[in-house]
A and B are shown apart, each in its own frame.
Chain A
């Protein structure tokens, strides 16, 4: 039409050239570089990999897992070679698992709930690799999973029950404020255990719950804590991954309980205690099992007795009397045996918010019962939206 080519044609031509160029580069390099294939474990060295949903320095969940990885590396030295992938989005985990298998890892630990299905699928595809899923529930729910797939988690609610004792002793107006991410069974059982702990020393204690809709969101966490303070609570329990609620507690001089990291140092004047997790021993035993060829699929539920969940250092405001009481319970739990958890659920009839008895006196709860808990104990002021 015109002497100069139209813009559109130029663009089309660019696309064509780009395509050819990409193909040329790809095929050139493909023939040029020999494929470096990595072999699996040899000479007693296990290659182990971790997949994290957050950064390794998040000061909470992921950091605790990475401490477990470092513990293994220190304990086993040359017998293990560890690696990790951080900030892995749940929707994108499948190719990451593929890559780790290709790199020759023989055991892979995935530490976010949303990785479970792709992990089980990869286990079916790669029978020679062991797949370990933290906080998964496929096995508990009775789904058929490959024999090289295992799940592990633990009774954080037991140490939260003991933290609740400290909170029940600390409150003066009997109003405890709780902020938590989602109304899901895991969080519900943690809140219930905490409130039962508080009520065990202070039957009049009640709890007000607000949801942040996020595991880790410092801004939302701070706002939630402020809303609790203005609602008149005088103790805060923040079931969140950042210590933001501690700032609010400090500013208002209110005692607080955090979650999954020990904040006794930075917030000593207001800190009570909380549940923390110790993943290292689990990782060590599983990697040793791969090395000895004794690895078997399991559904591990860690306890106080086997050292999986521990109580953070008490803050200076916890009275000697309260410490003695909690430590006595802690010792009892430690002596109860490695597989026992949740001693308090059946100590008396437990009612839900409407007053209906949900747990009878003397009843014990199985892992499945705990995983399906979807009701609040009496004394909790908060709504379950479903």
Chain B
């Protein structure tokens, strides 16, 4: 992966000094804060108080931290979805649609089981249904890539729109099982509220509220980490991702592995959809899901976490916190665009730092095509 600019070239570093591995991300983060401070000064804001407010409203008091966990939970799942797939070179952009299908399946099963179901049946059923829905939707681009050699970036992206249209159809354009046709449902199309037994629990630690979905996400991340490092499937994923030809010589079936990875990746996003319905929304809400775009945001989370499932947990909390605090900053003197620029600066600098960490910038003298001749 060499890219040539006029006069400069990115060259992969042959080895990563240990120090750089963690100083660069921290350095980039502070660079972002510095650039942000200049911008804030230019727009007449006090950077210190702005940053203080971000910290306060994202992490520092229990109420705000609870809000951050609400924002982080879907990102944790969609982040894992992207991390697992990208690790093996399967570029699943379809987390968004897999999230919708997971929400459709899990709300469907919760409604079907009804109000008399046992809690210990309703909630596991939602988890399984959400994962299954996401897995089915995710396996489609996997299958197409493995056996028909289509580009999964295109197919998984297109499937997002299809899943979006299906969810809108279920609520806005049909009298489907998911739609509430009583009470306020007669006045505005909306999903049926799932029965209270299917509401996922929340655990209060002092005034901090931890949603069950977030704990499930942490357990899932740990499971993915074990899967990747300690199992035969994990080994196969690494080989297929790194060297498909070698995998074939070693007697593996890369096609099957790709479909399996695609399904696992989709299942993770589907779990996110189930958590969103079970813990927070309690209805199938197509417009709300589409406004939020958790699937796409998950790709950013995965990239910042360097595709490491454990790091996804922390990155999702940080991004969730920034989203949460972003609303707190806004007001008549602080347009939402400025919040967006601050958030963008942080992402740009940290991802940029990643590139500079992996690649060296080398000056090319004279004709760039002949590096050896220049010596």
Residues of A within 8 A of B61 (CB): 35
Which B246-294 residues have a C-beta within 8 angstroms of A? 276, 280-281, 285, 287-289, 291-292
B244 at interface (Cβ–Cβ under 8 A)? no
Per-residue CB contact flags for chain A residues 68-110 toward chain B (1 = under 8 Å, else 0) read 0000000000000011111111111011101100110000000
B332–A90 CB distance below 8 A: no
B314–A86 CB distance below 8 A: no
Our pick among A15, A22, A371 for the contact of B310 (Cβ within 8 Å) is A15
Residues of A within 8 A of B229 (CB): 8
B69's nearest neighbour on chain A, judged by CB, is A95
Which B34-70 residues have a C-beta within 8 angstroms of A? 52, 55-57, 59-61, 63-64, 67, 70
A143 at interface (Cβ–Cβ under 8 A)? yes
A66's nearest neighbour on chain B, judged by CB, is B332
When chains A and B are docked, how far (Å) is the Cα of A21 from the Cα of B311?
13
B327–A95 CB distance below 8 A: yes
B232 at interface (Cβ–Cβ under 8 A)? no
When chains A and B are docked, how far (Å) is the Cα of A95 from the Cα of B66?
9
Which B7-48 residues have a C-beta within 8 angstroms of A? 15-16, 18, 21-22, 25-26
A26–B59 CB distance below 8 A: yes
A89–B292 CB distance below 8 A: yes
Residues of A within 8 A of B287 (CB): 90, 114
Residues of A within 8 A of B330 (CB): 84-86
When chains A and B are docked, how far (Å) is the Cα of A94 from the Cα of B70?
10
B336 at interface (Cβ–Cβ under 8 A)? yes
Q: What's the least CB distance linking B258 to chain A, in Å?
A: 21
A85–B311 CB distance below 8 A: no
B370 at interface (Cβ–Cβ under 8 A)? no
B281's nearest neighbour on chain A, judged by CB, is A91
Q: What's the least CB distance linking B223 to chain A, in Å?
A: 15
Known A-B contacts A18-B25, A91-B291, A372-B186; the reply to A11 vs B306 at CB < 8 A is yes
B336–A14 CB distance below 8 A: no
Q: What's the least CB distance linking A34 to chain B, in Å?
A: 11
Per-residue CB contact flags for chain A residues 136-174 toward chain B (1 = under 8 Å, else 0) read 011011110000000000000000000000000000000
Question: How many residues of chain A are within 8 Å of chain B by beta carbon?
Answer: 58
A10–B18 CB distance below 8 A: yes
Q: What's the least CB distance linking A32 to chain B, in Å?
A: 10
Our pick among A29, A87, A114 for the contact of B336 (Cβ within 8 Å) is A87
Known A-B contacts A82-B332, A99-B327; the reply to A92 vs B71 at CB < 8 A is yes
A17 at interface (Cβ–Cβ under 8 A)? yes
A7's nearest neighbour on chain B, judged by CB, is B16
B186–A83 CB distance below 8 A: no
Known A-B contacts A15-B314, A29-B55, A94-B70; the reply to A113 vs B188 at CB < 8 A is yes
B231 at interface (Cβ–Cβ under 8 A)? no
Known A-B contacts A14-B306, A18-B314, A113-B188; the reply to A90 vs B22 at CB < 8 A is no
When chains A and B are docked, how far (Å) is the Cα of A19 from the Cα of B328?
25
A39 at interface (Cβ–Cβ under 8 A)? no
Our pick among B186, B314, B327 for the contact of A22 (Cβ within 8 Å) is B314
Interface 9-mer from B90-98, B106-114, B151-159, B171-179: B171-179
Q: What's the least CB distance linking B85 to chain A, in Å?
A: 17
A22–B63 CB distance below 8 A: no
A29–B324 CB distance below 8 A: no
Which B152-203 residues have a C-beta within 8 angstroms of A? 168, 172-175, 183-184, 186-189
Our pick among B18, B52, B292, B331 for the contact of A92 (Cβ within 8 Å) is B292
When chains A and B are docked, how far (Å) is the Cα of A288 from the Cα of B104?
45
When chains A and B are docked, how far (Å) is the Cα of A14 from the Cα of B314?
11
B311–A91 CB distance below 8 A: no
* Residue with the highest number of chain B CB atoms closer than 10 Å, among A114, A142, A186: A114
B220 at interface (Cβ–Cβ under 8 A)? no
When chains A and B are docked, how far (Å) is the Cα of A33 from the Cα of B174?
54
Residues of B within 8 A of A11 (CB): 306, 308, 311
When chains A and B are docked, how far (Å) is the Cα of A96 from the Cα of B71?
11
Per-residue CB contact flags for chain A residues 195-235 toward chain B (1 = under 8 Å, else 0) read 00000000000000000010000000000000000000000
B190's nearest neighbour on chain A, judged by CB, is A114
Our pick among B285, B305, B310 for the contact of A91 (Cβ within 8 Å) is B285
A14–B308 CB distance below 8 A: yes
Our pick among B183, B281, B285 for the contact of A141 (Cβ within 8 Å) is B183
Our pick among B18, B175, B332 for the contact of A83 (Cβ within 8 Å) is B332
B323 at interface (Cβ–Cβ under 8 A)? yes
B318 at interface (Cβ–Cβ under 8 A)? yes
When chains A and B are docked, how far (Å) is the Cα of A138 from the Cα of B331?
28
When chains A and B are docked, how far (Å) is the Cα of A82 from the Cα of B332?
8
A143–B184 CB distance below 8 A: yes
Q: What's the least CB distance linking A281 to chain B, in Å?
A: 21
B21–A185 CB distance below 8 A: no
A55 at interface (Cβ–Cβ under 8 A)? yes
Residues of A within 8 A of B175 (CB): 386
Our pick among B70, B276, B288 for the contact of A89 (Cβ within 8 Å) is B288
Instruction: List 12 A–B pairs whose Cβ atoms lie within 8 Å, in order of A's numbering.
Output: A11-B306, A11-B311, A12-B308, A21-B26, A22-B318, A33-B60, A84-B330, A86-B336, A91-B276, A99-B67, A371-B187, A385-B174
What are the nearest 4 A-B pairs in CB distance?
A95-B67, A91-B288, A15-B311, A89-B291
9 new A-B pairs (CB below 8 Å) besides A4-B15, A83-B332, A94-B67? A10-B16, A33-B56, A35-B61, A89-B288, A90-B291, A92-B292, A94-B70, A114-B285, A185-B186
A residues touching B (Cβ–Cβ < 8 Å)? 4-5, 8, 10-15, 17-19, 21-22, 26, 29-30, 33, 35-36, 55, 82-92, 94-96, 98-99, 102-103, 113-114, 137-138, 140-143, 182-186, 213, 371-372, 374, 385-386
